[in-house]
Structure 1
Amino acid sequence: MSTRNVQGISLYYESHGDPEAAPVLLVSGLGGVGASWGTQIARFTEKYHVILPDQRGTGRTTRALDGHTTRQLAADMASLVEELDVGPVHVVGASTGGAIAQYMALEHPRLVRSLTLSSTFARFDAFTRREFEVRRKLAAEWDRHELLSAYSLFLFGPRYAREHPEAVVEWIDRAAALPAHPDDRRIGLARIDMIAAHDTFARLREIAQPTLVLCGEHNFCTPLPLSEELVHGIPDATLAVFEDAGELIELEQPERFFTEVSGFIDGLRDPDRG
Structure 2
Amino acid sequence: MQVNVNGIDTRYVLSNESGGPWLTFIHQLGGDLSIWDQLAGYFRNNYTVLRYDVRGHGQSAAPAAPCTVADLSNDLAALLDALGAAHTHVVGMSLGGAIAQQFALDHASRVDTLTLADTFAFTAPEARSIWDQRADAARRDGVASLMPASLERWLTPDFRRAHPEVVEQIRDVYVHTSVEGFALVCAALRDFDVRDRLSAIRAPTLAVAGRHDTGTPPAATQAISDAVRGARFELLDAAHLAPIEQSQRFAGLLETFLQPRV
Shift in CA distance, 195/168, structure 1 to aligned 2, threshold 3 Å: same
Answer yes or no: is the 8 Å Cα contact 2:66–2:184 preserved in 1: no
- 1:99 corresponding residue in structure 2: 98
- 1:37 corresponding residue in structure 2: 36
Answer yes or no: is the 8 Å Cα contact 2:120–2:216 preserved in 1: yes
1:188 matched to 2:182? The reply is yes
Deviations 1:111-160 (A, max 9, x none): 11110001111012467546545544542333444421221112113443
- 1:86 corresponding residue in structure 2: 85
- 2:71 corresponding residue in structure 1: 72
Shift of 1:218: 0.9
Shift of 1:263: 1.2
Shift of 1:42: 1.4
Please state whether the residue corresponding to 2:258 is helix, strand or coil. Answer: helix
- 1:150 corresponding residue in structure 2: 149
Q: Distance in 1 between matches of 2:185 and 2:233?
A: 27
Q: 1:101-120 to 2 correspondence within 5 Å? A: 101-120=100-119
Shift in CA distance, 187/10, structure 1 to aligned 2, threshold 3 Å: closer
Shift in CA distance, 57/210, structure 1 to aligned 2, threshold 3 Å: same
Point out the more displaced range, 205-214 or 6-15.
6-15
Amino acid at match of 2:189: I
- 2:14 corresponding residue in structure 1: 15
User: Which runs of no fewer than 5 residues in structure 2 stay unpaired?
Assistant: none
Amino acid at match of 2:15: H
- 2:60 corresponding residue in structure 1: 61
- 1:259 corresponding residue in structure 2: 252
1:248 matched to 2:237? The reply is no
Shift in CA distance, 202/260, structure 1 to aligned 2, threshold 3 Å: same
Q: Distance in 2 between matches of 1:188 and 1:14?
A: 21
Shift of 1:169: 4.6
Amino acid at match of 1:198: F
Answer yes or no: is the 8 Å Cα contact 2:142–2:179 preserved in 1: no
Amino acid at match of 2:14: S
Q: Distance in 2 between matches of 1:168 and 1:142?
A: 25
- 2:193 corresponding residue in structure 1: 199
Shift in CA distance, 173/217, structure 1 to aligned 2, threshold 3 Å: closer
Point out the more displaced range, 228-237 or 17-26.
17-26
Answer yes or no: is the 8 Å Cα contact 1:74–1:104 preserved in 2: yes
Shift in CA distance, 84/172, structure 1 to aligned 2, threshold 3 Å: closer
- 1:272 corresponding residue in structure 2: none
- 2:213 corresponding residue in structure 1: 219
What is the aligned length?
Answer: 262
1:26 matched to 2:32? The reply is no
Amino acid at match of 1:140: R
- 1:175 corresponding residue in structure 2: 173
Please state whether the residue corresponding to 1:5 is helix, strand or coil. Answer: strand
Q: Distance in 2 between matches of 1:252 and 1:127?
A: 29
Amino acid at match of 2:179: R
Answer yes or no: is the 8 Å Cα contact 2:12–2:53 preserved in 1: yes
Amino acid at match of 1:234: V
- 1:4 corresponding residue in structure 2: 3
Structure 1 segments, 4+ long, off by >6 Å, are none
Shift in CA distance, 169/107, structure 1 to aligned 2, threshold 3 Å: closer
Amino acid at match of 1:148: M
Deviations 1:4-41 (A, max 9, x none): 33322232211014252121011111125212223222
TM normalised by structure 1 equals: 0.86
TM normalised by structure 2 equals: 0.90
Shift in CA distance, 204/169, structure 1 to aligned 2, threshold 3 Å: closer
Amino acid at match of 2:168: E
Q: Distance in 2 between matches of 1:215 and 1:81?
A: 27
Amino acid at match of 1:252: E
Shift in CA distance, 238/44, structure 1 to aligned 2, threshold 3 Å: same
